[in-house]
């Protein structure tokens, strides 16, 4: 902790533990303690730690070709772009690679300017990143206020409210951006017809519909992107987190006519589509397919949704697949997170009475059962504080 405080800036505060190794869904700290990792690098390590396929592909790639910039092509970037194109079901889709979710959303924001319009509709409490453009889209005042003035022309409305969206989307709207399920806000699931309604409103007004799938994507919800249940397609998909399986990689995928908006020179990223990061991503997609992980996500997710709802002190459990949010009956989320850590499980408290869990997609049922025991015990102990 002293070394951290002396060498790193204070934007994160100071971590309480130092992790030194991991395998699958178990990590070890510098003192030799082990933990069930039910946060997975904030929904990022979709295959857990040290997955053999990722280790093999990254090792092979870094010993072959490390980095080429965006002046040249390489096999991995071509194959990954084609894979993502196929997953969207749109043969006309085109991919832009970057390094993070914030960068992917910055790219989407720039893309929307190519429509000739600049007004944007986003949602309150949404999280789209912390760079200035992405922060302008983020609907959390605590993160926005210290850095005003931000980009103008962005209106935030309540998430899940179709009626309000219908009123604010106009012919002047360049894009509407939403998360299929809000992650950072506490895993908030919208009404079943919400995304379908947004598609109609955007079509009626010539606006781009952008789905921020940074947290819901790459199998997290049991589907590849997290919006599939709606039966519609967006104009733009933004990805990161699980895409690289732990390596920094983001993508902005434009579908249909939106794929033709960027022309040469409009945007770029030195590291975007890096050979090593894209090698990891190809391994992630291959493993999800070969190991039938999407059906496993549904099974383990259903178990957790059911069992966590039975624990005293939990008033609501929501989510899809292995992106799960819980509401507690008291503002003890931070104390609960600390207690779970003491008992051997890592989780996240996005709010005073809200818990978020997002383990690796290949977490075992046995590990899920162990987590429920730990969480239940932690709730008991925190409730007596």
Question: Same CATH fold, 54-290 and 2-51+292-383?
Answer: no
| The pair of three-digit structure tokens given for residue 151, joined into one six-digit string | 């980009």
pLDDT tens figures, 150-188: 999 999 999 999 999 999 999 999 999 999 999 999 999
Distance CA 370, CA 231 (A): 36
Task: Report whether 270 belongs to an annotated binding site.
Answer: yes
Which pLDDT value is given to residue 245? 97
Q: 130: annotated binding-site residue?
A: yes
Give the C-alpha separation, 249 to 229, whole Å: 25
Return the CATH number of 2-51+292-383, one of 3.40.50.300, 1.10.10.10, 3.90.1150.10, 3.50.50.60: 3.90.1150.10
Q: What is this structure's pTM?
A: 0.97
Q: Angle formed by the axes of helices 275-290 and 52-62, to 10°?
A: 150
Minimal CA–CA distance to 244: which of 126, 80, 35?
80
Residue 372: per-residue pLDDT: 98
Q: 308: which 2 tokens? A: 């966590």
pLDDT for 322 equals 98
211 is in an annotated binding site: no
Q: Is 25 labeled as ligand-binding?
A: no
Q: Which pLDDT score is estimated for 302?
A: 98
User: For residues 351 and 287, is the Cβ–Cβ distance under 8 A?
Assistant: no
| pLDDT of res. 283 | 98
Mean pLDDT of 266-288: 97
pLDDT(385) > 60: no
Show me where the domains of the chain are located.
Answer: 2-51+292-383, 54-290
Above pLDDT 90, what percent of the chain?
A: 99
pLDDT of residue 161: 98
Q: Alpha carbon of 39 to those of 7, 119, 224, 308, 356: distances in Å?
A: 26, 35, 19, 16, 8
* Residue 36 CB-half CA count within 13 A: 24
- Residue 259 in marked binding region: no
Taking the mean position of all CA atoms in its chain, how far away is CA 53? Answer: 22
Q: Rounded mean pLDDT of the chain?
A: 97
- How do residues 337-351 score in pLDDT, each as one tens digit? 999 999 999 999 999
What is the 3 state secondary structure string of 12-81? Answer: HCCCCCCEEEEEECEEEECCCCEEEECCHHHHCCCCCECCHHHHHHHHHHHCCCCCCHHHCCCHHHHHHH
Encode burial over 150-160: b for 16+ CB neighbours within 10 A, e otherwise.
Answer: eeeebebbebe
CATH pick for 54-290 out of 3.60.20.10, 3.40.640.10, 3.40.50.1820, 1.10.10.60: 3.40.640.10
Instruction: Evaluate if residue 361 carries a pLDDT over 70.
Output: yes
The helix (run of H) or strand (run of E) holding residue 197 is: helix 194-205
Task: Tell me if 116 is assigned to a ligand binding site.
Answer: no
Give me the sheet containing 345-346, strands edge to edge. Answer: 19-23, 26-29, 34-37, 345-346
In terms of Cα–Cα distance, which of 29, 10, 127, 50 is closest to 342? 29
Distance between CA 120 and CA 118 in Å, rounded? Answer: 6
Instruction: Note the pLDDT of residue 257.
Output: 97
104 in helix, strand or coil? helix
Q: How far apart are CA 111 and CA 360, in angstroms?
A: 32
pLDDT cut 70: percent of the chain above it: 99
Return the closest-CA partner of residue 256 out of 234, 238, 240: 234
CA angle, 45 then 130 then 236, to 5°: 70
101-156 residue pLDDT tens: 999 999 999 999 999 999 999 999 999 999 999 999 999 999 999 999 999 999 99
pLDDT at 383: 86
Kind plus residue range of the DSSP H or E element containing 252: strand 250-254
Q: What is the average pLDDT across 306-328?
A: 97
The tens digit of pLDDT for each residue in 30-60 reads 999 999 999 999 999 999 999 999 999 999 9
H, E, C per residue of 295-348? HHHHHHHHHHHHHHCCCCCEEEEEEECCEEEEEECCCCHHHHHHHHHHHCEECE
| 384 has pLDDT over 80 | no
Q: Give the distance from CA 365 to its chain's centroid.
A: 23
């Amino acid at each position: 902790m002293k070394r951290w405080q002396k060498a790193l800036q204070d934007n994160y505060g100071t971590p309480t533990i130092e992790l030194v190794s991991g395998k699958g869904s178990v990590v070890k700290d510098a003192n030799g303690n082990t933990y069930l990792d039910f946060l997975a690098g904030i929904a990022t390590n979709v295959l857990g730690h040290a997955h053999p396929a990722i280790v093999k592909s990254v090792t092979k790639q870094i010993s072959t070709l490390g980095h080429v910039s965006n002046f040249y092509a390489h096999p991995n970037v071509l194959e990954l772009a084609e894979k993502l194109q196929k997953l969207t079901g749109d043969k006309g889709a085109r991919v832009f690679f970057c390094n993070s979710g914030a960068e992917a959303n910055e790219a989407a924001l720039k893309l929307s300017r190519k429509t000739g319009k600049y007004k944007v509709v986003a949602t309150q409490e949404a999280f789209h990143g912390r760079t200035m453009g992405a922060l302008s889209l983020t609907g959390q005042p605590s993160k926005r206020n210290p850095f005003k003035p931000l980009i103008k022309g962005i209106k935030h409305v309540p998430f899940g409210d179709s009626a309000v969206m219908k009123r604010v989307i106009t012919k002047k709207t360049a894009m509407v951006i939403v998360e299929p399920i809000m992650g950072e806000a506490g895993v908030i699931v919208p009404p079943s017809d919400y995304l379908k309604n947004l598609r109609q409103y955007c079509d009626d007004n010539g606006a781009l519909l952008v789905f921020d799938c940074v947290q819901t994507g790459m199998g997290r919800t049991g589907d590849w992107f997290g919006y599939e249940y709606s039966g519609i397609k967006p104009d733009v998909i933004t990805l990161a987190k699980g895409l690289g399986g732990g390596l920094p990689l983001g993508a902005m995928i434009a579908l249909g006519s939106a794929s033709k908006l960027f022309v040469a020179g409009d945007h770029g990223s030195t590291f975007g589509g890096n050979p090593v990061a894209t090698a990891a991503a190809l391994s992630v997609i291959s493993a999800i397919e070969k190991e039938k992980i999407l059906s496993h996500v549904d099974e383990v997710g259903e178990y957790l949704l059911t069992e966590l709802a039975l624990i005293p002190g939990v008033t609501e459990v929501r989510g899809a697949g292995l992106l799960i949010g819980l509401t507690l009956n008291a503002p003890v989320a931070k104390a609960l997170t600390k207690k779970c850590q003491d008992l051997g499980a890592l989780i996240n408290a996005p709010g005073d009475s809200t818990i978020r869990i997002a383990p690796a997609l290949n977490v075992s049922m046995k590990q899920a059962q162990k987590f429920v025991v730990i969480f239940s015990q932690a709730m008991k102990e925190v409730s007596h504080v």
